[in-house]
Chain A
Amino acid sequence: MAENKDGLNVSEQNEPLQPNYWRSFEDLYRDPALLEESHHEFKEGVKEDFNPSNLSGMSRRKFLALIGASAALAGAGCSDYPDKGEIIPYTNKPEEITPGKANYYASISWADPSGTGILIKTREGRPIKVDGNPDHPVSKGKVSAQTQAHIMNLYDPERLDSPLEKTTRGLFTKSSWQNVNNKIISALNNINGKEIAIISHKVQSPATKKVFDEFISKYPSAKVYSYELFNSQIRNSAWNKCYGGESFPLIKWNKAKVILALEADFLGVGEDKVENARLFTEARNVTDIKNFSRLYSVEGNYSLTGMNADYRLRLRPDAQYEFVMCLLNEIIKKGGSRINFDAQIFNNFRLTNFAEKYSLDAKTLNVLIADLIKHNGESIIYAGNSLSENVHIAVNLLNEVLGNREMYSQESAKVDLLPLSANEDWGSLISSMNGGRVGIVIHFGSNPAYHLPADYEYASAVSKVPVVISLVSKENESSVISDYVLPDTHDFESWGDCKNRTGFYALQQPVIAPLFNARQKEAVLLNWINGNADSFDEKIYHQFLMNNWEQNIYPGLRSKIKFKQFWYGALHDGVVKSFDSPTGIGTFNASVVQSLPVSISETRGYALLLNESPFIGDGRHAHNGWLQEMPHPVSKISWDNYAAVSESTAIELGVKNNDMIEIKNGSRSLKIAVFVQPGMADKTIAIDLGYGRSAAGTIGTGIGFNANLLMSKNIQFSPWLYSSVSVSKTGGSYKLVSTQDHHKFDDDMIQDLHYKRDIIQEGTIEQYLQNPKFIKEKHHGPLKSLNPFYDYTGVKWAMSIDLNKCTGCAECVVACNVENNIPVVGKEQIDKGREMMWLRIDRYYSGSPDNPKTSVQPMLCQHCDHAPCENVCPVVATTHSPDGLNQMVYNRCVGTRYCSNNCPYKVRRFNYFNFRDYFKNGYQENSIFALLHNPEVTVRSRGVMEKCTFCIQRIMEAREDSIRENKPLKGSDVTTACQDACGTNAIKFGDMNDQDDQINIYRNHELGYVVLEELNIRPNVTYIAKLRNIHTEEAL
């Protein structure tokens, strides 16, 4: 065949062959004209052969340049285009980042003071969600509300953006790191033997401790002081006196058959609350009914623990010592003691007298005594941190008497790297400051001006110190009285390690570069140790941490792999096993009993109890809108603290809700709003600390009342408990807002409606053992419907919530807020009843205001099969999916609110405003807040209805994965955010059409019920009825 280069030199004569395919007769008969044309494929466009010289003189390069320039011009000219955000694909894609895929990194959060093992979810390099690290032996995948919401602190637009220096006029000016560091280093070098005081929170990081050690060796006059507003110092010192160990052991809450909590909110507050709740509810399992534990609570405040107690007695906290001694006396008298013991010293303490004096219910006391004796060795008495040392000693003794040693954990114990400074240390520091013997004070991430008891007068003492430095990420009460304020990085931008328990170490790694011009406080200290402000290196602390591990920690870990490999593995896991174990529990020092007072001291006046706030903690989370807005788990009050009093105390004081009272504790006083809290002990006032911050940014400043002002350095019982406090009504009022209506207890019309309406269905263990179907029997059975049932053939999503495990802590609510981009609406909107949280914890009281029986119930969209919201929407903006979800189509919603009106659970939330814009003048519209949002969840605009979606974004992700991997979608592939967050695993989610799915165990459980069943709207959320472990009337 002739060579055929361009198709033009093919000779017809040479190749008379007919084509074997033809498009027309001309083609078939090989019409020459057509043949000629067919050689020019692009005939109409190009007649001539290609000749570059005939083409336009414009080069390709120039053409592209012109296109680019005109596009740029058009872009600049039309710059009104609303979306100014840039979307630029990666030129060089980072190895580990795939757009649209989340990455998870193990790290540590210090939102709880002793460090929590976390897993940070990042999308395209920005952290968007925090969950517990499942490998972490303490968190086991579950973290507190504070840690969940910690992500908002990362994107707080009010974080400090550059070092600040106070001018002679007392105002702060921005400065450079180099300038400030130079000045500070020269001040450190010219200290002339004066003290350098480093004031820190609790130190749980070996590397931080090492930094302090090196700092002290470089500047020998330096001293480290550490504090926590809430601590276990008294508990630990009592333990030390009784058993000799350093710190109080961990409790096996899951093993105890009987738990007696004395003014102890071990489920509601404190750094161990998530772990405690998990262990506690392990023994509240409906599938293991024989091993149900019984919780007694004797307390003055109405705490979350008290709310969950099977039996609860009201007792003012300053009478607890007498109560424990009476218990000891009674138990020994009844022969319940497992040790030989001279019971002479208890003779003064008679339980019957005591019960009469404080009008405690004798029946309950009898049951308690009988239970403690019956379950000796398997019970635990646990006193709250706020009780005096004597109570703790007496409680240790009581546990010893009952032989409850087994309930103390032997596997793991807390580790105190650096004991908190004692009261005497603070006293001497303050007097040194006042005496001019302190040259430099460094606030190492701490806020002593707010946290230290008011009568130290820290602010005035520190004003006598020549150089005051604050290393903090946001302004606080201590930074505003400092000379230098250096911005610290957020935990998620920092390196670190943590040693808070025996048995393992945890590691902290940054997951995002510092968003602000901030430096990690440890790195700043290292820089000062270097003594050269110019030599700062970003990696300085990272390197230091690694070196410390390589030299001091790695050798003790018996690792068989090289350090570098080990290090990356450790960072990946976040946790490293270590081989230190608890020292064990020594023998009880009987002589300590002799030191206990044997006479009864009468309680006088009002008792004042200062508690940790369940969400704001010691005030360090006051900047966090999500946490401020969380309704208190018991009172449901949001955005404030208050003085909780009992009904009869309120009558005695002549006050009602929102009235102002003045509390005088010695020379200190505070005016605060009253809230009448059912279940409070009479003559007891309970206040949450952490509020009333005077320098906590737009969100936290001026929220609530600063009850720290009532604290004293002179300890009567403990720093948190005062007796003989005087209280008076001042007149005036202050509006407290709550997310749940407060109605009168004794109103016949609405009393116990939650029982009458079968919203809350409950029973007792005995009832269940006698008749396991007692809940099911109440049900109507299958109800008929006029409407045809849709046949759900594939996956059908359902949720079940075990009310035996739900403590009402509301960690799920925070997780939902973070996952689903829920805005903060502010106090004024909460007052109007427009909170936006998709998930709420309903709390119902029954019984008398003095001894309320409380039930909690997480309430979220029930995804009804016959959803009443769906058929009333005029524009079909809310629809049902084939997998049983009730869906919201935001784009289609015009906002008639008819769906919400017709929802019997009132779980729909309406955007009455663009709340992000409305709240605090668009605080949440700050561009940095956009980084916080979960990119998989639409940010809803004004005028749109929204509600729980069962985390549809997670369902869709699992569905995509299953399609990609070509395997069927299973119920266990999806977990909702609330389920992930639930510390007690009360929430189960899965596919009800899959008989193997664990959801069906709960859905079909005898105790399962749906709320408002008679409406026949077929909700897909099943509640497992709560069983109270109480004796029935006959048994009492």
Chain B
Amino acid sequence: MTVDYSKELPVVEGRLTLAQIEELVATPLDTRPDKKFFIALTISGSLLLFGAFCVAVTLLTGIGAWGNNQPVGWAFDIVNFVFWIGIGHAGTLISAILFLLRQKWRTGIARFAEAMTIFAVMCAAIFPILHTGRPWLAGYLMPYPNQHSLWINFTSPLIWDVFAVSTYFTVSLVFWYIGLIPDFASLRDRTASKIKKIIYSIFSLGWRHSHRNWQHYEKAYMLLAGFATPLVLSVHTIVSFDFAVSIMPGWHTTIFPPYFVAGAIFSGFAMVVTVLVFVRKIFNLEQIITLNHLEKMNKVILATGMMVGYAYAMEFFIAWYSGVQFEQFAFINRMFGPYAWAYWIMVSCNVIFPQLFWVKKIRRSIPWMMVIVIFVNVGMWFERFVIVVTSLHRDFLPSSWGYYTPTLYDTGILIGSFGLFFTLVILFTKTLPVVSISEVKAVAEGAQPSHHGGHK
């Protein structure tokens, strides 16, 4: 294939006019939901309800409903939490970091990825509260003045989590909303429905597409992007401290912060690819979310996958190099102990299969990439399982070793969290523009002055 490297590839394919772009994105919002939409919503809603049932049982009887036990105090609860927080990393990375790096291709996918971030953090937020023995006392985790002079423990990473996750969620939400304002205004101007008009008017905050509006908007967006960028790195760093700060072999590792961030981006991109493949097909957005987009994301997956693989190897090396027998045992036990199956699922899904993305054909093939990204999703869930459960189940004293087996409720809540995520995603596709109209218009061919004289 011959490529002309002297020219940027067009971000939007098919030479769409600005009106066509707006039409494409806004159509799902203007039309009534069809049967397929309701079928999809029913499925994800059922999963959500099943999860809600399992949560209710847990709240009624106690977390003994789960399989957690004496050595394994944390299991699916924290695995799911870290998994969802990880998923929530792609959105802000795409919208903030790639924005600062002037990556034009991000415009097609930023909105969707950001929405996924917010939904994933919402899914993750279930677990920190639910996993406590007495969730009705979760307020104790907040520092508030009280007459008992009780204060929280700022040396505990769980407290850092509370702040890191809530900050991340707030900033992501605000950033997402700011980006939505010009689109709300466009929708307000398009719609004929009175109710919609009122709603869009409220949310567009009186946007008039004026220069002054745009000037303020660009500044605010830039500032927020700068603000969100460190958060992308800090959230998973702090989540990794939950483990790294402890003294458990297999947890007590300084490599955890970068390793967790890389893993989070890895899993987040995989999840975004998984969902976008469907969305671009269903909503006819193939010209906006192009194969080029998917390929670029697959490249990121390949890169971060290798970082994760490097971390796995480095953990082993350090365990051996440290000469600490507990560390050495913990890692040998991962490979050959009772949970070896989980370890090998993790390694094959996260390190081995993504290597196929070296091949350009596979990178650009929808079926191939679907299989691989789903493997990555599975593998990254198992990575957290391996870290949490395998480290705990055999620690220092062989007398206290145990084995963790999930119960119906453990699995039910995991399924329910997927139900919640997809329910929110499905509702999102019919209520808000899944692609940023204004940003895509800005990168469409001919939208910017160029030396080639615009449209050719």
**Which chain B residues border A918 with CB–CB below 8 Å?**
61-62, 64
Report the stretch among B85-93, B97-105, B242-250 that lies at the interface: B242-250
The one of B62, B131, B159 that contacts A911, using a Cβ cutoff of 8 Å: B62
Report the stretch among A7-15, A657-665, A871-879, A977-985 that lies at the interface: A871-879
B74 CB-CB contact with A under 8 Å: yes
B133 touches A945 (CB 8 A): yes
**Which chain A residues border B64 with CB–CB below 8 Å?**
829, 834, 912-913, 918
B138 CB-CB contact with A under 8 Å: yes
- Binary B-proximity of A809-834 (CB < 8 A = 1, otherwise 0): 00000000000000000000100111
- Rounded to whole angstroms, the CA-CA distance of A859 and B71 in the bound complex is 14
B134 touches A901 (CB 8 A): no
Given A859-B399, A876-B152, A902 and B248 touching (CB < 8 A)? yes
- Binary B-proximity of A841-870 (CB < 8 A = 1, otherwise 0): 011100000000000010100000000100
B247 touches A868 (CB 8 A): yes
Nearest 6 Cβ contacts at the A-B interface: A895-B133, A943-B133, A912-B64, A897-B73, A833-B69, A842-B399
**Which chain B residues border A913 with CB–CB below 8 Å?**
61-62, 64
Name which of A911, A943, A1011 has the most chain B CB atoms within 10 A of its CB: A943
Known: A843-B399, A872-B245, A875-B152. 20 other contacts (CB 8 A): A749-B337, A753-B329, A754-B398, A754-B399, A759-B398, A833-B71, A834-B64, A834-B70, A842-B399, A842-B400, A876-B153, A893-B134, A896-B158, A897-B68, A898-B246, A901-B248, A901-B392, A905-B397, A906-B396, A943-B132
- Rounded to whole angstroms, the CA-CA distance of A1011 and B242 in the bound complex is 25
The one of A842, A892, A902, A910 that contacts B70, using a Cβ cutoff of 8 Å: A910
A944 CB-CB contact with B under 8 Å: yes
- Rounded to whole angstroms, the CA-CA distance of A967 and B401 in the bound complex is 46
**Which chain A residues border B133 with CB–CB below 8 Å?**
893-897, 910-912, 942-945
14 A-B contact pairs sorted by A residue (CB < 8 Å): A759-B397, A833-B72, A871-B155, A872-B157, A876-B152, A894-B133, A895-B63, A895-B133, A897-B68, A898-B156, A912-B68, A913-B62, A914-B62, A944-B133
Q: Which of A95-141 contact B (CB under 8 A)?
A: none
B195 CB-CB contact with A under 8 Å: no
A183 shortest CB reach to chain B, Å = 49
A604 CB-CB contact with B under 8 Å: no
A740 CB-CB contact with B under 8 Å: yes
**Which chain B residues border A749 with CB–CB below 8 Å?**
329, 332-333, 336-337
B152 touches A906 (CB 8 A): no
The one of A753, A857, A898, A943 that contacts B158, using a Cβ cutoff of 8 Å: A898
B153 touches A871 (CB 8 A): yes
B187 shortest CB reach to chain A, Å = 43
B320 CB-CB contact with A under 8 Å: no
Name which of A756, A842, A901, A1012 has the most chain B CB atoms within 10 A of its CB: A901
A515 CB-CB contact with B under 8 Å: no
B396 touches A943 (CB 8 A): no
The one of A894, A904, A906, A1012 that contacts B132, using a Cβ cutoff of 8 Å: A894
**Which chain B residues border A909 with CB–CB below 8 Å?**
70
B221 CB-CB contact with A under 8 Å: no
**Which chain B residues border A894 with CB–CB below 8 Å?**
132-135, 137-138, 140-141
B71 touches A906 (CB 8 A): yes
B153 touches A875 (CB 8 A): yes
Name which residue of chain B comes closest to A834, CB basis.
Answer: B69
- Rounded to whole angstroms, the CA-CA distance of A759 and B401 in the bound complex is 14
**Which chain A residues border B399 with CB–CB below 8 Å?**
740, 754, 840, 842-844, 857, 859
Name which residue of chain A comes closest to B399, CB basis.
Answer: A842
B332 touches A875 (CB 8 A): no
B156 touches A871 (CB 8 A): yes
The one of B137, B158, B326, B403 that contacts A872, using a Cβ cutoff of 8 Å: B158
The one of B69, B141, B242, B247 that contacts A904, using a Cβ cutoff of 8 Å: B247
A835 CB-CB contact with B under 8 Å: yes
A900 CB-CB contact with B under 8 Å: yes
Name which of B70, B72, B138, B247 has the most chain A CB atoms within 10 A of its CB: B70
Interface size on B, as a range, is: 35 or more
B151 CB-CB contact with A under 8 Å: yes
Name which residue of chain A comes closest to B245, CB basis.
Answer: A872
- Binary A-proximity of B53-87 (CB < 8 A = 1, otherwise 0): 00000000111100111111110000000000000
A1015 CB-CB contact with B under 8 Å: yes
- Rounded to whole angstroms, the CA-CA distance of A209 and B387 in the bound complex is 67
The one of B151, B336, B337, B402 that contacts A876, using a Cβ cutoff of 8 Å: B151
A602 CB-CB contact with B under 8 Å: no
Name which residue of chain B comes closest to A841, CB basis.
Answer: B399
**Which chain A residues border B326 with CB–CB below 8 Å?**
757
B150 CB-CB contact with A under 8 Å: yes
- Rounded to whole angstroms, the CA-CA distance of A1015 and B135 in the bound complex is 32
B140 touches A872 (CB 8 A): no
The one of B138, B140, B337, B397 that contacts A892, using a Cβ cutoff of 8 Å: B140
A904 touches B395 (CB 8 A): yes
A750 CB-CB contact with B under 8 Å: yes
- Binary A-proximity of B158-177 (CB < 8 A = 1, otherwise 0): 11001000000000000000
- Rounded to whole angstroms, the CA-CA distance of A894 and B142 in the bound complex is 12
B74 touches A901 (CB 8 A): yes
A741 CB-CB contact with B under 8 Å: yes
A757 touches B62 (CB 8 A): no
- Rounded to whole angstroms, the CA-CA distance of A737 and B242 in the bound complex is 32
Name which residue of chain A comes closest to B61, CB basis.
Answer: A913
- Rounded to whole angstroms, the CA-CA distance of A790 and B72 in the bound complex is 31
B388 shortest CB reach to chain A, Å = 9
B325 CB-CB contact with A under 8 Å: yes
- Rounded to whole angstroms, the CA-CA distance of A959 and B130 in the bound complex is 40
A906 touches B134 (CB 8 A): no
- Rounded to whole angstroms, the CA-CA distance of A941 and B62 in the bound complex is 10
B63 touches A912 (CB 8 A): yes
The one of B152, B337, B396, B397 that contacts A874, using a Cβ cutoff of 8 Å: B152
A787 shortest CB reach to chain B, Å = 11
- Rounded to whole angstroms, the CA-CA distance of A743 and B392 in the bound complex is 17
B445 shortest CB reach to chain A, Å = 53
B58 shortest CB reach to chain A, Å = 11
**Which chain B residues border A857 with CB–CB below 8 Å?**
399
Name which of B74, B150, B337, B397 has the most chain A CB atoms within 10 A of its CB: B397
A906 touches B395 (CB 8 A): yes
B134 touches A753 (CB 8 A): no
Name which residue of chain B comes closest to A900, CB basis.
Answer: B73
**Which chain B residues border A844 with CB–CB below 8 Å?**
398-399
Name which of B158, B325, B333, B400 has the most chain A CB atoms within 10 A of its CB: B400
- Rounded to whole angstroms, the CA-CA distance of A743 and B402 in the bound complex is 10
- Rounded to whole angstroms, the CA-CA distance of A754 and B401 in the bound complex is 12
B249 shortest CB reach to chain A, Å = 9
- Rounded to whole angstroms, the CA-CA distance of A867 and B244 in the bound complex is 17
- Rounded to whole angstroms, the CA-CA distance of A874 and B129 in the bound complex is 13
The one of B150, B400, B402, B403 that contacts A905, using a Cβ cutoff of 8 Å: B400
- Rounded to whole angstroms, the CA-CA distance of A904 and B137 in the bound complex is 27
B156 touches A873 (CB 8 A): yes
A547 shortest CB reach to chain B, Å = 56
B397 touches A906 (CB 8 A): yes
A483 shortest CB reach to chain B, Å = 44
- Binary A-proximity of B383-398 (CB < 8 A = 1, otherwise 0): 0000000001001111
- Rounded to whole angstroms, the CA-CA distance of A754 and B326 in the bound complex is 12
The one of A834, A897, A906 that contacts B400, using a Cβ cutoff of 8 Å: A906
- Rounded to whole angstroms, the CA-CA distance of A116 and B89 in the bound complex is 68
Q: Which of B104-148 contact A (CB under 8 A)?
A: 131-135, 137-138, 140-141
B150 touches A876 (CB 8 A): yes
B397 touches A898 (CB 8 A): no
B402 touches A833 (CB 8 A): yes
- Rounded to whole angstroms, the CA-CA distance of A864 and B388 in the bound complex is 24
- Rounded to whole angstroms, the CA-CA distance of A912 and B152 in the bound complex is 23
**Which chain B residues border A834 with CB–CB below 8 Å?**
64, 69-70
**Which chain B residues border A897 with CB–CB below 8 Å?**
68, 73-74, 131, 133
Name which residue of chain A comes closest to B151, CB basis.
Answer: A876
The one of B68, B246, B332, B401 that contacts A741, using a Cβ cutoff of 8 Å: B401
